Structure formats: structure tokens, C-alpha cells
Amino acid sequence: MREVSKSPFYHAWEDKDEAERFRLHSREIYDHYKAYQAASWSGHVEYGKWLIASLLAVHGGAIYAISTLKDSVRPAQINGLIDAAAWNLGGVFMTLVAGFAAWLNFQAAEATYNRWSDPAMLYRSDSFPSDDDRKTDPITATLFFAAAAGLMSAFAFLTSATTVIQTLRLP
């Protein structure tokens, strides 16, 4: 932005053209933050629903498929199918963890945009947001945590599929 060596109130600036430009610029930034706040809220709802539904469908379908195999395999193969189902149950758990972390991520983003959307920036040049004093970054932390949990859920599905294939190949 600009150095604040004058009054932070735009109406007190001597150069009225500069004050008006800065006020218009401030309005655009304010509106931008408010739009991103709304998008973050909407995103956490839609993304959370999609993530939970998709991963639960994958793991639930795998558990159902494994359960249909139990009558067509030899007794020596049952333990392998149980292990594969257990991997999918772990995947369900990691799916729920991923969904929760994603929800936390969007909540943190919404809170940040809410904090940044200070209407005082429309009339004070020293009211622009700054996170320089923050010691934590919950948005990035929850983003990576959700991604890691989602990848662990995918790994559980892959391990389950491999376990089923290896079990069915048993002599």
C-alpha cells in the first residue's frame, strides 16, 4: 500500500484525489475479502459433502464386495479377506478424519477473511489486515492434514485391493 505518514482517516488527507483513490481501492479489497469469506463458507460445506460421500462410497463398496466373496473362497482365504476389510474400515476412519480436517480448514479460512474484512479499512489507511503477528497458520496446517488423511485413506483402499488379490491367488 502506501506509507502512513498522514492521518489514517482518508477524509483528513490534504490531497482529496489521493484519498478518493485510496478509498476506492480499499472498497475493492474489502469486497474481495467478503466474497472470499462467503466462498470459504460455501466451499467447506460442498467440499466436505463431496469428500465424505466419495471416500465412504469407495470404502463401503469395497467392504460390500469383500463380504460377497466370503462364501466363494476356501477357509484358508477368509483371514485375508478379513484383513482387506479391516484396511477399508481404517480407510473409513481416515475419510472421516480428512473430512473433519477439511471442514476445519474452511472454517479457519472463513475466520481469517472475517477478521480481514474490517470495515474501518474503508475510511482508515491503517486498518488493512496483517497476520505478521500470528505465530500459527491454521489454514495451511489443516489443509495439509486433510490431504494427508485423504492420502492415507487412498492408501488403505490400495492396500485392501492388493490384499484381496493376494488372498485370491493363494493356492
Rounded to the nearest 10°, the torsion over CA 129, 131, 133, 137 is: 160
**Around Cβ 83, how many Cβ atoms within 10 Å?**
16
Output the pLDDT for position 5. 55
For range 13-24, the mean pLDDT: 85
Q: Which of 32-36, 45-49, 146-150 has the weakest average pLDDT?
A: 45-49
For range 10-21, the mean pLDDT: 84
**For a pLDDT cut of 90, what percent of the chain falls above it?**
43
Q: How far is CA 30 from the centre of its chain?
A: 23
Tell me how far apart the alpha carbons of residues 116 and 33 are, in angstroms, rounded to a whole number: 7
For the cut 80, the answer to whether the pLDDT of residue 4 exceeds it is: no
Q: How far is CA 77 from the centre of its chain?
A: 39
For range 29-38, the mean pLDDT: 84
More confident of the two residues 126 and 95: 95
Residue-wise pLDDT for 53-111, tens only, equals 888 999 999 999 999 998 899 999 999 999 999 999 999 999 999 989 988 988 898 88
Cell 466373496 belongs to which residue?
A: 69
Output the pLDDT for position 1. 47
Rg (CA), the chain: 26
Tell me how far apart the alpha carbons of residues 47 and 106 are, in angstroms, rounded to a whole number: 9
Tell me how far apart the alpha carbons of residues 129 and 107 are, in angstroms, rounded to a whole number: 18
What secondary structure does DSSP assign to 52-102, as a single string? HHHHHHHHHHHHHHHHHHGGGS-HHHHHHHHHHHHHHHHHHHHHHHHHHHH
pTM: 0.70
For range 136-144, the mean pLDDT: 91
Rounded to whole angstroms, what are the CA distances from 115 to 14, 33, 154?
A: 30, 9, 35
Output the pLDDT for position 9. 81
Cell numbers of 10, please?
Answer: 482518508
> Is 56 within 8 Å of 93 (Cβ atoms)?
no
125 DSSP 8-state letter:
T
